[in-house]
């Protein structure tokens, strides 16, 4: 609670408006829900659902209601977490180019509106996940707490390890999907979790390199800000290298999946190693960031496709 009070008092210093000069629209609420993040995570939720059904001998048609609740609940709880993130970061968002136009900064949404909206979505999402399975709800709630409390409120502002802490929360979507069908969580489910967990540091560190000056202005100790680009590049490369063998823990998914995992992971690693000699760090970081998005999407879509045919 003291953290929230500190944020509230910091608003006046930062010059953040808490007004209703312009009418609030549904687009403002959609904006703080970060629908892009929600949709990308739903791909991994669906992969967990489909693979759990496949390996338990069920079908998604037979498990339609739990699957529907898992997708809806995941969307709501992720959007709720993003809204709460916007609420907490109101005192620093105006310092960063990519966040300075958020409704919570401009004053189109007040702190009370944002907090109420975020909590309502989070509660509704947890309830929907509970309708799928209690295990799914527990995993979703754990991910929410890690993201909002341990990451946003604490480590994001205090340590370069914030990326690792945030990765725990970001890796739970496939677990939620799997738990909706199979609460026992097959080892494959944990492998999906590991893939997402290790994928996130190189993804977000590349983003941090691109936004290094903004994070520095906001006082956020991202690795490039604290240790520089050279060390950050090496860290990214180590994570990408580790991701390749982890992705092959599910080589049982077949030769097509295995070949894709090796080629995509290998290509990402080669591109990463090129960064050790490049002089244009921003161009390299942008390429790594885009590659990471394509990697995750292709890998999880492919996991489903190889089990369809």
Q: What is the pLDDT of residues 96-111, one digit of tens each?
A: 888 888 888 888 899 9
Q: What is the pLDDT of residue 8?
A: 46
Which ranges of the chain have pLDDT less than 50?
A: 1-21
Give every CB contact of residue 77 below 8 A, 6+ residues apart in sequence. 121, 122, 125, 126, 129, 140, 141, 143, 144
Is the same domain home to 208 and 168?
no
Q: What is the pLDDT of residue 23?
A: 74
pLDDT 10s digits, 11-54: 443 444 444 445 778 888 999 999 999 999 999 999 999 999 99
Q: What pLDDT was estimated at residue 22?
A: 57
- Regarding whether 173 and 39 lie in a shared domain, the answer is yes
Q: Which class for 277: exposed (0-12), middle (13-18), buried (19 or more C-beta within 10 A)?
A: exposed
* Number of compact structural domains in the chain: 2
Q: What CATH number is given to the structural domain containing 137?
A: 1.10.357.140
Give the domain extent around 291.
Answer: 187-309
Residue pLDDT, tens place only, 161-191: 999 999 999 999 999 999 999 999 999 999 9
Last residue of a domain, one of 185, 217, 237: 185
Residue-averaged pLDDT of the chain? 91
**309 shares its domain with 191:** yes
In terms of domains, do 144 and 206 share one?
no
Q: Are residues 193 and 180 in the same domain?
A: no
Q: Are residues 169 and 265 in the same domain?
A: no
The pTM of the full predicted model, rounded to 2 decimals, is 0.88
Claim to verify: residue 112 and residue 200 sit in the same structural domain: no
C-alpha span between 170 and 166 (Å, rounded): 6
């Amino acid at each position: 609670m003291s953290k929230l009070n500190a944020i509230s008092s910091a608003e006046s210093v930062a010059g953040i408006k808490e007004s209703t000069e312009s009418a609030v629209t549904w687009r403002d609420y959609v904006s703080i829900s970060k629908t892009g993040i929600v949709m990308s995570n739903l791909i991994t939720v669906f992969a967990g659902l489909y693979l759990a059904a496949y390996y338990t001998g069920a079908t998604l048609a037979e498990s339609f209601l739990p699957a529907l609740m898992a997708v809806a609940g995941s969307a709501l709880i992720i959007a709720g977490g993003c809204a709460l993130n916007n609420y907490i970061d109101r005192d620093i968002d105006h310092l960063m180019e990519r966040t300075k136009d958020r409704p919570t900064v401009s004053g189109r949404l007040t702190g009370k509106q944002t907090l109420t909206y975020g909590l309502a979505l989070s509660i509704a999402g947890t309830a929907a996940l509970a309708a799928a399975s209690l295990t799914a709800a527990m995993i979703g709630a754990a991910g929410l707490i890690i993201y909002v409390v341990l990451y946003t409120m604490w480590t994001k502002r205090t340590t370069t390890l914030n990326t690792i802490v945030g990765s725990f929360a970001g890796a739970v979507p496939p677990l939620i999907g799997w738990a909706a069908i199979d609460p026992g969580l097959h080892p494959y489910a944990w492998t999906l979790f590991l893939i997402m967990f290790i994928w996130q540091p190189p993804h977000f560190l590349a983003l941090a390199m691109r936004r290094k000056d903004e994070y520095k202005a906001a006082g956020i100790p991202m690795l490039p800000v604290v240790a520089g680009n050279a060390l950050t590049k090496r860290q990214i490369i180590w994570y990408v290298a580790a991701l390749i063998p982890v992705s092959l823990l599910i080589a049982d998914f077949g030769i097509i999946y295995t070949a894709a995992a090796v080629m995509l992971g290998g290509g990402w690693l080669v591109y990463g190693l090129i960064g050790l000699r490049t002089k244009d760090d921003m161009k390299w970081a942008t390429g790594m960031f885009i590659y990471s998005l394509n990697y995750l999407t292709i890998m999880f879509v492919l996991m489903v496709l190889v089990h369809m045919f």
